[in-house]
């Protein structure tokens, strides 16, 4: 069976210099579930941008074997003048992944990106809801006017699952009825890189889901656990819009996203004594260093409590 080429968001095929191997790479990454569809599009844009830059700086013919470390260094230097550091890192990550794959498949003999040095990224602390703000959000969500009882119950289930389990919104929307064991309060999730994990979501989330399913009146064993207004699987964008509405009604910052409930889950677990490695497993982080950023938030809280409470602080 022939594979269709990965396409841009506007539906146009990737026909720029060197695109054939890139298209094959992205298609295989998508088929093997190594990358999500959105990540494939992002990688495709980054690789296309680099290829067009190469063409405009010397008439590159699309032969990836001609790529050198000097090309990559010049590219990074120029990009730093017009893009932020995070964007540069993301573009180089796409290049590294592609070139590494190309080397494994015999398309090139060396990986010119191996010794590339990038500017350090600033370590910023994630935004999150405090415990009091989370309680306010949940209370306001229960009292929202204008929505049907079933919609209100579904939205409560969404919020409780995101916060109680530290779920990514993609994981939430991908859940099927059989993924959540209401008896044990455990949910089976398919995370990044098709890595499966089983985590607790808490009694509040279980009760919210039970209330929603009771109003739905139909067991969700085979299909999606949470349904969109017109039926079918819930979309991440619908969750984002719903949360903005709830935040507005609760008088909370409207720039908080569903992912911030995941941040809140991690921070509150650590603040209340949870082990760092257990939080890593809860969130599905591949590296403990990713989870450690939340310890800074917990330490900040400890410092404030110490300042207010210790007699010699």
DSSP helix/strand/coil, 121: coil
The last residue of a domain, from among 59, 86, 104: 104
Only one residue has tokens 């207004």, namely 229
Residue 14 in any domain: the answer is no
Q: Cα(89)–Cα(12) distance, rounded to whole angstroms?
A: 26
Residue 124 in any domain: the answer is no
168 and 297: one domain? yes
Residue 306's pLDDT is what?
54
245 and 305: one domain? yes
Residue 194 in any domain: the answer is yes
Residue 140's pLDDT is what?
84
Residue 99 in any domain: the answer is yes
Residue 10's pLDDT is what?
41
Q: Which residues contact 149 (CB under 8 A, 6 or more apart)?
A: 215
- Show the domain range for 181: 131-309
226 and 302: one domain? yes
Nearest C-alpha neighbor of 139 from the set 250, 283, 29, 277: 250
175 and 303: one domain? yes
Residue 10 in any domain: the answer is no
Only one residue has tokens 């063409």, namely 55
Reported as type and span, the H/E element at residue 126 is none
DSSP helix/strand/coil, 187: strand
How many folded domains does the chain comprise? 2
99 and 157: one domain? no
Residue 116 in any domain: the answer is no
Q: At what angle do helices 19-31 and 85-104 cross, to 10 degrees?
A: 90
The model scores a pTM over 0.75 = no
34 and 145: one domain? no
The DSSP secondary structure of 16-72, one letter per residue, reads: STTHHHHHHHHHHHHHTTSS-HHHHHHHHHHHHHHHHHHHHTT---S-GGG--HHHH
Q: Cα(114)–Cα(54) distance, rounded to whole angstroms?
A: 19
Residue 117 in any domain: the answer is no
238's tokens: 């619908």
295's tokens: 């310890």
Residue 222: which CATH number?
A: 1.10.443.10
Instruction: Give the residue ranges of DSSP H helices in the chain.
Output: 19-31, 37-56, 69-82, 85-104, 131-142, 149-165, 169-173, 203-216, 236-250, 258-271, 276-283, 288-309
User: Which one-letter DSSP state was computed for residue 127?
Assistant: P
Q: Cα(279)–Cα(266) distance, rounded to whole angstroms?
A: 6
Residue 69 in any domain: the answer is yes
Question: For every one of its 313 residues, what pLDDT tens digit does the chain have, with 9 covering 90 and above?
Answer: 333 334 444 433 346 888 889 999 999 988 877 777 888 889 999 999 999 999 998 888 889 998 899 999 999 999 988 988 888 989 999 999 999 999 998 888 888 888 888 877 766 555 678 889 999 999 888 776 778 899 999 999 999 999 999 999 999 998 988 899 999 999 998 877 778 889 899 999 999 999 999 998 766 566 889 998 888 889 999 999 999 999 988 898 888 889 889 888 988 888 888 888 888 888 888 787 777 777 765 556 556 655 776 565 5
Q: Cα(69)–Cα(100) distance, rounded to whole angstroms?
A: 14
Residues labelled catalytic: 168, 192, 259, 262, 285, 294
184 and 148: one domain? yes
Residue 159's pLDDT is what?
95
145 and 291: one domain? yes
- In this structure, is the dihedral angle defined by the CA atoms of residues 274, 278, 283 and 285, taken in order, positive or negative? positive
153 and 237: one domain? yes
Nearest C-alpha neighbor of 209 from the set 174, 236, 201, 247: 201
Q: How far apart are the first and last CA of the chain?
A: 70
94 and 136: one domain? no
30 and 168: one domain? no
Residue 235's pLDDT is what?
92
Q: Cα(184)–Cα(83) distance, rounded to whole angstroms?
A: 48
Only one residue has tokens 């939430």, namely 172
176 and 84: one domain? no
């Amino acid at each position: 069976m022939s594979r269709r080429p990965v396409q841009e968001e506007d539906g146009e095929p990737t026909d720029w210099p060197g695109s054939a191997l890139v298209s094959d790479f992205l298609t295989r990454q998508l088929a093997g579930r190594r990358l999500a569809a959105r990540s494939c599009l992002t990688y495709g844009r980054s690789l296309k941008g680099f290829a067009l830059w190469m063409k405009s700086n010397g008439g590159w013919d699309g032969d990836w074997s001609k790529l050198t470390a000097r090309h990559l260094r010049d590219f990074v230097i120029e990009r730093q003048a017009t893009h932020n550091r995070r964007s540069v890192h993301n573009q180089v990550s796409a290049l590294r992944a592609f070139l590494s794959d190309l080397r494994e498949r015999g398309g090139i003999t060396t990986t010119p990106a191996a010794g590339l040095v990038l500017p350090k990224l600033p370590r910023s602390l994630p935004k999150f809801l405090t415990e009091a703000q989370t309680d306010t959000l949940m209370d306001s969500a229960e009292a929202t006017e204008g929505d049907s009882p079933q919609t209100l119950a579904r939205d409560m289930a969404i919020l409780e699952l995101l916060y109680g389990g530290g779920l990514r919104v993609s994981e939430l929307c991908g859940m099927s009825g059989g993924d959540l064991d209401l008896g044990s309060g455990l949910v089976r999730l398919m995370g990044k890189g098709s890595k499966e994990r089983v985590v607790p979501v808490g009694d509040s989330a279980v009760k919210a889901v039970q209330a929603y399913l009771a109003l739905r009146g139909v067991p969700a064993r085979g299909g999606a656990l949470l349904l969109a207004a017109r039926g079918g699987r819930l979309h991440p964008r619908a969750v984002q819009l719903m949360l903005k509405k709830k935040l507005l009604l609760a008088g909370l910052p409207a720039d908080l996203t569903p992912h911030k409930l995941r941040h809140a889950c991690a921070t509150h677990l650590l603040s209340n004594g949870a082990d760092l490695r257990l939080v890593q497993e809860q969130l599905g982080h591949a590296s403990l260093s990713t989870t450690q950023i939340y310890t800074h938030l917990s330490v900040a809280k400890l410092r404030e409590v110490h300042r207010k409470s210790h007699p010699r602080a």
